[in-house]
A and B are shown apart, each in its own frame.
Chain A
Amino acid sequence: MTILVIAEHDNAVLKPATRNAIAAAARIGGDIDVLVAGAACAAVAEAAARIAGVTRVRLADAAQYADHGAENLAALVVANAAAYSHILAPATAAGKNFLPRVAALLDVAQISDIVEVVSPDTFVRPIYAGNALATVQSADAVKVITVRGTAFEPAGEGAAAPIEALAGAADAGISRLVGRELTVSARPELTAARVIVSGGRALGSNENFHAVLEPLADKLGAAVGASRAAVDAGYAPNDYQVGQTGKIVAPELYIAVGISGAIQHLAGMKESKVIVAINKDPEAPIFQVADYGLVADLFDAVPALLAAID
């Protein structure tokens, strides 16, 4: 049995979510090939080769993979799928984008967002915004799976595996990247952060959102997150959103500031180890999941918290 894990990267750096997917592959058991598809991405292949549990890295280095468009990437995976029992990708925006295309072309189901490997054909996945956990069994010849990163400890470093070049498939030519507007931040990435300070609608404006939350985040070495309401209102960029339709996070400490705790928000953060809620409404649902709740006006409490942490 050989498992293919598709690496996520930006041609320069391997994204940490790849390590969680490799960890899930190791739970399934068998040899693990990692596919690195991109352009001028040899450094990524080398990084992938050093991950514990990886048997071989297959490197498709060609211009048509530079932007990781779903059409070309899916065609490449499908052309090489015959050798594999399982095909895994992280359940990130990128993985969610191309992997269902692979599954459909192989005429198999995709098992989205697994949080547990029960056996090589049986997996647990959340449904209904995480309010239920379904155990599903696949009868398909190839299991196509996206992996929820927070559910699997990232695979560490190991002995270097061989890297083999893989010929690219033809460019489909039906999609073209025009440009990206990426949020630049010196803070840790939301899905990999040890601490997250997250703000809601109560921050009231873009200025407040940054002025109130960022000093606290900086002091704690934290990433900044947001509720959907805060993102919709333009207080924070879309990639800050935590929840059912945003990012799934599980830091050691999650501080929810002026967030009510709608089920769609809880879906993205309730696996955090310690949850702190600061909200002026003592009945806010966020207090039902918070380990430590502080009923207070955030505009007083956050600066006071900042001052009290040395």
Chain B
Amino acid sequence: MKILVPVKRVIDYNVKVRVKSDGSGVDLANVKMSMNPFDEVAIEEAVRLKEAGIASEVVAVSAGVAACQETLRTAMALGADRSILIVTDEELQPLAVAKLLKAVCDKEAPQMVIPGKQAIDDDANQTGQMLAALLGWPQATFASKVVVNADKTGAAVTREIDGGLETIEISLPAVVTTDLRLNEPRYATLPNIMKAKKKPLETTTPEALGVDVKPRLKTLKVAEPAKRAGGVKVADVAALVDKLKNEAKVI
């Protein structure tokens, strides 16, 4: 069984985001970029399925600027066998990415696609569900546990939902999106980083895949949210209770 893992190059989660003064977007110049944290979890899950003898091959896919190949090299250092880069300088929105991934799935015929549940830049939480829809496959989003059936025709997936957890059984092929508690991703070791440099990285384009990636949403402006006025430090519990009762009037 082949597993496809889409990975996105995003601003590192530790970086403090700055909005550009002209309101055109967020400043990404000279900012550390990394693999979207949810996608690291996705790679880890796919690699563990391979190590458990359930998956036969793990293919990482990324769409975006040429620098996304660094993200794919990281994916391969973490255990992906090969990767595919769909190069474009166009702004990519979730529907376009889902269409690109569908085109790749049509060629690669994976049994499972494991995207992260959301990307920490646009926070859209859409691509996996959209891909499942376009393929007509079942989806299991926000997964915290994945168990593939012995005959590999289905999987039981535990999902994080608002009231707790739910487990669903889906037929394969399917799309499973990761939540952070699915696993704890490993770190890439130096030997594996070296090995990843020799793993195959194939390049294609939206045009070659026959996908129109024109954005559907136009960003009119990006602004900084209103800042909270800094508060005060209180001396002790008595002072805190006094403030809450008499100033804020919330208790």
Residues on A lying within 8 angstroms of B by beta carbon are 69-71, 74, 92-94, 96-105, 107-113, 122, 126-140, 172, 174-183, 191, 195, 220, 228, 231-232, 237-239, 244-245, 247, 252-253, 263-264, 270, 273-276, 282, 287-296, 301, 304-305, 308-309
B116-145: which residues lie under 8 A (CB-CB) from chain A? 117-118, 120-134, 137-142, 144
B235-249: which residues lie under 8 A (CB-CB) from chain A? 236-238, 240-241, 243-244, 248
Q: A135-B220, A138-B217, A245-B118 are in contact. Are A270 and B161 (CB under 8 A)?
A: no
Q: Which of B137, B140, B165, B240 has the most CB of A within 10 A?
A: B240
The segment from B79-87, B191-199, B224-232 that touches chain A is B224-232
The yes or no answer to B160 lying at the interface (CB within 8 A) is: yes
Is B95 a contact partner of A104 (Cβ separation < 8 A)? yes
Is B129 a contact partner of A70 (Cβ separation < 8 A)? yes
Is B221 a contact partner of A179 (Cβ separation < 8 A)? no
Is B161 a contact partner of A104 (Cβ separation < 8 A)? no
Is A273 a contact partner of B250 (Cβ separation < 8 A)? yes
Is B133 a contact partner of A105 (Cβ separation < 8 A)? yes
B17-62: which residues lie under 8 A (CB-CB) from chain A? 17, 19, 26
Task: Kindly list the 10 A-B residue pairs having the minimum CB-CB distance in the complex, ordered from nearest.
Answer: A104-B130, A100-B129, A109-B216, A104-B133, A291-B231, A100-B126, A174-B138, A131-B17, A101-B133, A304-B237
The yes or no answer to B204 lying at the interface (CB within 8 A) is: no
Is A239 a contact partner of B166 (Cβ separation < 8 A)? no
Which listed residue (B162, B169, B181, B219) contacts A134, Cβ 8 A?
B219
Is A103 a contact partner of B237 (Cβ separation < 8 A)? no
Which listed residue (A110, A176, A181) contacts B94, Cβ 8 A?
A110
The yes or no answer to B107 lying at the interface (CB within 8 A) is: no
In the assembly, what is the distance between CA of A122 and CA of B133, in Å? 25
Which listed residue (A92, A101, A179) contacts B132, Cβ 8 A?
A101
A-contact bits for B7-18, CB 8 A (1 contact / 0 none): 000010100110
In whole Å, how far is B11's beta carbon from the nearest beta carbon of chain A?
7
What are some 24 contacts across the A-B interface (CB < 8 A)? A69-B168, A71-B139, A92-B162, A100-B127, A112-B123, A131-B19, A132-B223, A174-B171, A175-B138, A175-B140, A175-B171, A182-B165, A238-B165, A239-B163, A244-B120, A244-B123, A245-B118, A245-B179, A264-B13, A290-B231, A291-B232, A292-B240, A301-B237, A309-B241
Is A103 a contact partner of B234 (Cβ separation < 8 A)? no
Which listed residue (A110, A135, A287, A296) contacts B223, Cβ 8 A?
A135
The yes or no answer to B188 lying at the interface (CB within 8 A) is: no
Is B180 a contact partner of A228 (Cβ separation < 8 A)? yes
Is A309 a contact partner of B238 (Cβ separation < 8 A)? no
Is B141 a contact partner of A70 (Cβ separation < 8 A)? yes
Is B138 a contact partner of A239 (Cβ separation < 8 A)? no
Residues of B within 8 A of A304 (CB): 237
In whole Å, how far is A162's beta carbon from the nearest beta carbon of chain B?
30
Is B225 a contact partner of A274 (Cβ separation < 8 A)? no
The yes or no answer to B167 lying at the interface (CB within 8 A) is: yes
A-B contact count, CB below 8 Å?
Answer: 248
In the assembly, what is the distance between CA of A253 and CA of B251, in Å? 9
The yes or no answer to B93 lying at the interface (CB within 8 A) is: yes
The yes or no answer to B210 lying at the interface (CB within 8 A) is: no
Residues of A within 8 A of B19 (CB): 131-132
Is A97 a contact partner of B218 (Cβ separation < 8 A)? no
A-contact bits for B143-187, CB 8 A (1 contact / 0 none): 010000000000010001111111111110010000111000000
The yes or no answer to B66 lying at the interface (CB within 8 A) is: no
Residues of A within 8 A of B132 (CB): 70, 101
In the complex, which residue of chain B has the Cβ closest to the Cβ of A71? Answer: B138
In the complex, which residue of chain A has the Cβ closest to the Cβ of B99? Answer: A104
Residues of B within 8 A of A107 (CB): 95
Is B123 a contact partner of A126 (Cβ separation < 8 A)? yes
Is A174 a contact partner of B170 (Cβ separation < 8 A)? yes
In the assembly, what is the distance between CA of A293 and CA of B239, in Å? 11
The yes or no answer to B222 lying at the interface (CB within 8 A) is: yes
Is B234 a contact partner of A292 (Cβ separation < 8 A)? yes
Residues of A within 8 A of B138 (CB): 71, 172, 174-175
Is B163 a contact partner of A100 (Cβ separation < 8 A)? no
In the assembly, what is the distance between CA of A172 and CA of B248, in Å? 53
In whole Å, how far is B44's beta carbon from the nearest beta carbon of chain A?
15
Is A253 a contact partner of B244 (Cβ separation < 8 A)? yes
Which listed residue (A74, A127, A293) contacts B233, Cβ 8 A?
A293
Residues of B within 8 A of A138 (CB): 216-218
In whole Å, how far is A302's beta carbon from the nearest beta carbon of chain B?
9
Residues of B within 8 A of A70 (CB): 129, 132, 139, 141
In whole Å, how far is A220's beta carbon from the nearest beta carbon of chain B?
7
Q: Which of B123, B137, B170, B218 has the most CB of A within 10 A?
A: B123
Q: A135-B223, A178-B156, A231-B181 are in contact. Are A109 and B129 (CB under 8 A)?
A: no
In the assembly, what is the distance between CA of A93 and CA of B143, in Å? 12
Residues of A within 8 A of B167 (CB): 177-180
Which listed residue (A112, A139, A182) contacts B163, Cβ 8 A?
A182
Residues of A within 8 A of B216 (CB): 108-109, 138-140
Is A292 a contact partner of B232 (Cβ separation < 8 A)? yes
In whole Å, how far is A12's beta carbon from the nearest beta carbon of chain B?
13
In whole Å, how far is B94's beta carbon from the nearest beta carbon of chain A?
7
